[in-house]
Amino acid sequence: MKKIAVFASGSGSNFQAIIDAVRKGELEAAISLLVCDKPGAYCIERARTANIPTFVFNPKNYHSKADYEQEILRLLENEKVDFVILAGYMRLIGPTLLKEYQGRIVNIHPSLLPEFPGKDAIGQALAAKAKWSGVTIHYVDEGMDTGPIIAQERIRLEENETRESLQQKIHAIEHKLYPAILQVLLTKGEVISGKKACTY
């Protein structure tokens, strides 16, 4: 069974969906670690409740990204983590982690990439009066939400769409799609998305 580490910065509702899917046997993986860059974030509480070890750090206490990523890398290697799963981790992954884990780091983003990358994808979609947005699951590279796409699901925006209503629709999709795609990726090593098959 593959071992995963989840990286999160916020509430961690996607982290919770992964925990629940593992518990139900729908996602055959072992969650070895939560990595969180925001002391006090609610995802830490979720890890505690689920008895998942955590590494919580404040980037301000390190000289550089390389310094804290080196510490994270040591933990990942100690635990023999196979895959890194980003779930609302609001930081770019640097060369230290990419060197060892490229092709084994997956992210979920609340838009149809390449549209609306970066922060506040929901706000960007609303400001652009987009007719469609959605969710993208992709491999992570050195860019901002630029890695190869694994899966996407579309959402039609209503005329009176609000931040709250769109957020709710996005989360509803994310909480189903992420565990389902991870199950295929971690157990079969490939994901069929539309006409494309991505392998690692």
Residue 152 C-beta: closest distance to ligand GAR, Å: 12
Per CB under 6 A, does 37 bind ligand GAR?
no
Question: Residues 118-157 vs ligand GAR: string with x where CB under 6 A?
Answer: ---x-----------------------x------------
Q: Which of 174, 181, 183, 185 binds ligand GAR (CB under 6 A)?
A: 174
Minimum CB distance to ligand GAR smaller for 25 or for 143: 143
Residue 9 C-beta: closest distance to ligand GAR, Å: 7
Per CB under 6 A, does 14 bind ligand GAR?
yes
Piece of the chain touching ligand GAR by CB under 6 A; list 10-18, 30-38, 45-53, 67-75: 10-18
Q: Nearest CA to 151 among 110, 192, 185, 183?
A: 192
Helix H or strand E encompassing 86:
strand 83-86
Count of alpha carbons within 13 Å of 145, Cβ hemisphere only?
21
Piece of the chain touching ligand GAR by CB under 6 A; list 12-20, 69-77, 97-105, 146-154: 12-20
For ligand GAR, the binding residues in 95-124 under the rule CB under 6 A are 108-110, 121
Q: What are phi and psi of 15, to 5 degrees?
A: -60, -45
Per CB under 6 A, does 87 bind ligand GAR?
yes
Q: Nearest CA to 170 among 124, 128, 104, 105?
A: 124
Q: Which of 170, 177, 185, 191 binds ligand GAR (CB under 6 A)?
A: 170
Q: How far apart are CA 25 and CA 82, in angstroms?
A: 19
Q: Is residue 109 flagged as an active site residue?
A: yes
**Which residues have CB under 8 Å from 137's CB, separation 6+?**
106, 107, 108, 109, 149, 150, 151, 152, 177, 178, 181
Minimum CB distance to ligand GAR smaller for 34 or for 72: 34
CB 79 within 8 A of CB 33: yes
CB 186 within 8 A of CB 138: no
Give residues in contact with ligand GAR (CB under 6 A).
8, 10-14, 87-88, 108-110, 121, 145, 170, 174
Active-site residues, by number, are 109
